[in-house]
Amino acid sequence: MGFPPLVHLPQDRQGLPLGAVLSAGQRHEAAFFTDLMNEVSVPRPRGRPRKRPEAIAGDRAYDADWIRQWCADKGIESAIPVRENMRDGPGRPPTCDDRKYRDRNTVERCVGHLKERRRLVIRYEKKASHYKAMILWAFVEEYLNR
């Protein structure tokens, strides 16, 4: 039996999803970070959407030097806490803005809203492309309900 797919969701501060990336359940989340950031489309009142957010709040799974460097190269502020007992060697460990990290709970709430849809929880669609289509359909419902 295979692993259930992981759904990676970038969101804005209000909890509206900005995209989705599916991955195999046994793969680590950080491996799909750049794919996830390529899905981001931040809407604006006028003009085309931005492709880069101002800041990123991720959990400890995204604590990797290459992710922090990618964010710094793109001019994105990262609020990712440091994993415990993982920093060895010289230098100061990276800091995390607690105020921005506190907003990360909107991701958990959005996942909770998605789990209210039985079709996504039971996963009637076995093909990944069909399952992602159902996730995007749930996003449309979220946008219309706000």
Q: Give the residue-averaged pLDDT of 40-63.
A: 84
Q: What is the pLDDT of residues 58-68, one digit of tens each?
A: 888 888 889 98
In the block, tokens 């900005």 appear at 18
Q: What is the pLDDT of residues 83-98, one digit of tens each?
A: 776 666 666 666 777 7
Helix (H) or strand (E) holding 140: helix 128-145
Q: What 8-state DSSP symbol labels residue 60? A: G
In the block, tokens 């492709």 appear at 51
The CA distance from 38 to 85, in Å, is 31
The CA distance from 146 to 46, in Å, is 19
Give the pLDDT of residue 70: 92
6-8 and 77-79 beta bridge pairing: unpaired
